Amino acid sequence: MTLTLSFFLVSSGYSQNTQALEKKKQKVEQNIKHTQEKIENTKKSKESTLKDYNKIQKKIEVRKDVISGVQSEIKTVQVSLSGKNDDIIRLENQISKLKYDYGNIMKSAYKASLLTNEWMLILSSTSMNQAFHRWLYLKKIKKDRKQKAAIIIAKQLELESELSNLELIKSGKQLLLKKEQNQSDLLSKDLQDKDKLLANLSKDEKYLITTLNRQQKQQRAIASDIEKAIRREIARKEKEARELAERERKKEAARLAAIEAAKAKAAADNEKPDVGSAAIDVNPVKSPEKKPVKTVSEKKEVAITETPKSAALSADFQSNKGNLVWPVGRGVIIKRFGTQAHPDLSHVTIVNNGIDIKTETNARVNAVFEGEVVHIAFLSGYKNTVMINHGKYYTIYSNLESVAVSKGQKLKTGEMVGIAAVNADSGNTEVHFELWNKENPLNPAIWLKK
């Protein structure tokens, strides 16, 4: 009873004496949230820039390889062009020589008057055999000259065509090289811009992290101030409870002392002799000495922690460890108990004094065990919060859209506490659930039924 009264008073005193701290805490939490959002945006921007940076770097290397390949191709083409030019010159010389020889033959034939009458050469033969060989010779010479002239002309045309094609290829390669060089210049400029951007992002991130560390330090300081305020309130209320108990003890001692005094007076009145009665016995029998009754003040003092009823409830609650019903009908733990890494910022840690459970829309939130509602409050970031006492244990149900209980109300296991609310940050319906043993937070997950 005393402990329950003490906690009741502590809860009320805490609500009144920590308003300034709570407002300051809310402001710091808002600043931290804003800073974390900026860090996350900066991180995403930096990651995107790094990806672009790597892509551009790869493109630069590919472009360099392409340019190098094009340059090699141009050198090969130039060598081919030089070789083709030599071939063309050689063929032109051959054609010139053939034309010269052919001209000399034509001149000789003209002089011999064979150009207009080949048959005269044949008929002037001394024999049929000579005439036949002259005819074959003239026919072969004529055919060979025509074929060679045609071949020379065809080769010259072919080489000229190849030379033209090579010139076109060379021009195309030069244009490609110029284009690739321009792209390489542009990419190099982009890379310089990216380097500057990365430097600025790193600078901004360092600043934001420094700011976050400072804000988190403020948050820890505020949390420490609140905890100290709670301890001071608990100590003050426990002192009041002890003083009340001492007054009750003194009152009880005075009552017992009055009873003893009344008994002593009655005994004394009974032992007085009547006047004029028989002679007084000179050796009266002594009545047995009465031992004084120990008053409450003389009993060994025991520290007041729990009433028998509260102790029984605590033992019953503790015996159900690992078998407590869940605060919601269906749900999954999305944020575990204790110190842990931030889900998005790998270099940021957060502390959770309970667990966060994702559940269904408008889910009913129930008491995990029988107990008494000792505190109801609206806290920044947690909306409606209900605290239920189970002896020396306490369960806290936060992020409630509405509350279905009142302070001092006794609840049974599974009885409705309120309705789960939507988390503004995640957009999910969530319940924040905590379990405390006096001033020590416990991991609720190991107490709930598996």
332 — pLDDT class (breaks 50, 70, 90) = very high
Can you tell me the distance from the alpha carbon of 405 to that of 400, in angstroms, rounded to the nearest whole number?
12
From the list 304, 242, 305, 239, the residue with the least C-alpha distance to 437 is 305
Reading the block at residue 235, the tokens are 């100590």
CATH (residue range 18-270):
1.10.287
- Cα separation, 413 vs 368, in Å, equals 6
The residues spanned by each domain of the chain are 18-270, 311-450
Single-letter amino acid, residue 433: F
Q: Give the Cβ contact number of residue 28 at 10 Å.
A: 20
SS3 of 338, please? strand
Give the residue-averaged pLDDT of 269-280.
56
Sequence-distant (≥ 6) Cβ neighbours of residue 383 within 8 angstroms: 398, 399, 400, 401, 421
User: Does 136 have pLDDT greater than 70?
Assistant: yes
pTM beyond cutoff 0.85: no
Rounded (10°) CA dihedral 21, 25, 28, 34: -150
Angle, alpha carbons 449-352-310 (nearest 5°): 55
- Mind listing the pLDDT tens digit for each residue in 78-112? 777 677 677 778 767 776 776 676 666 666 555 54
Contact 88, 159 (CB under 8 A): yes
**Can you tell me the distance from the alpha carbon of 442 to that of 437, in angstroms, rounded to the nearest whole number?**
7
Residue 327: the pLDDT is 97
34/350 Cα distance (integer angstroms): 15
Residue 15: pLDDT above 90? no
Distance CA 270, CA 38 (A): 93
What is the band of 320 on the pLDDT scale with cuts at 50, 70, 90? very high
Which residues are within 8 A (CB) of 17 and not within 5 positions of it... i.e. 6 or more apart? 229, 233
The residues near 295 (Cβ < 8 Å, ≥ 6 apart) are 252, 253, 256, 257
- Supply φ then ψ for residue 105, to 5 degrees: -65, -45
Hey, what are 89's tokens?
Answer: 């010159």
Query: Residue 150, by phi and psi: left (phi above 0), alpha (psi -120 to 50) or beta?
Result: alpha
**CATH class entry, domain 311-450:** mainly beta
User: What was the pLDDT predicted at 366?
Assistant: 97
DSSP per-residue codes, 350-390: EEESSEEEEE-TT-EEE-SS-EEEEEEEEETTTEEEEEEEE
Could you tell me where the DSSP H helices lie in 114-127?
118-123
- d(CA 125, CA 387) in angstroms, rounded, equals 141
Find the helix or strand (DSSP H, E) in which 420 lies.
strand 416-422
Query: For position 286, what pLDDT does the model report?
Result: 46
Could you read off the pLDDT of 167-204 as tens digits, one per residue?
Answer: 887 787 788 778 778 877 877 777 787 777 677 767 76
Burial class (CB in 10 A: 0-12, 13-18, 19+), 284: exposed
Per-residue buried b or exposed e for 291-302, using 16+ beta carbons within 10 Å of the residue's own CB: eeeebeeeeeee
Please check the confidence at residue 125 and state whether its pLDDT lies above 80: no
Please name the residue that has the structure tokens 């900026």.
38
Nearest to 326 by CA among 361, 351, 363, 362: 363
Residue 211's Cβ-count burial label (10 Å; 0-12, 13-18, 19+) is middle
Q: Given pLDDT bands bounded at 50, 70 and 90, which one contains residue 392?
A: confident
Classify the C-alpha dihedral 96-97-98-104 as positive or negative.
positive
Residue 1 has pLDDT above 60, yes or no: no
Q: What is the mean pLDDT of the chain?
A: 74
Q: What secondary structure letter does DSSP report for 324?
A: B
Q: Which residue, 416, 415, 373, 378, is CA-closest to 395?
A: 373
* Long-range residue pairs from 85-93, CB within 8 A, at least 24 positions apart, any chain: 85/163, 87/159, 88/156, 88/159, 88/160, 88/163, 91/152, 91/155, 91/156, 91/159, 92/156
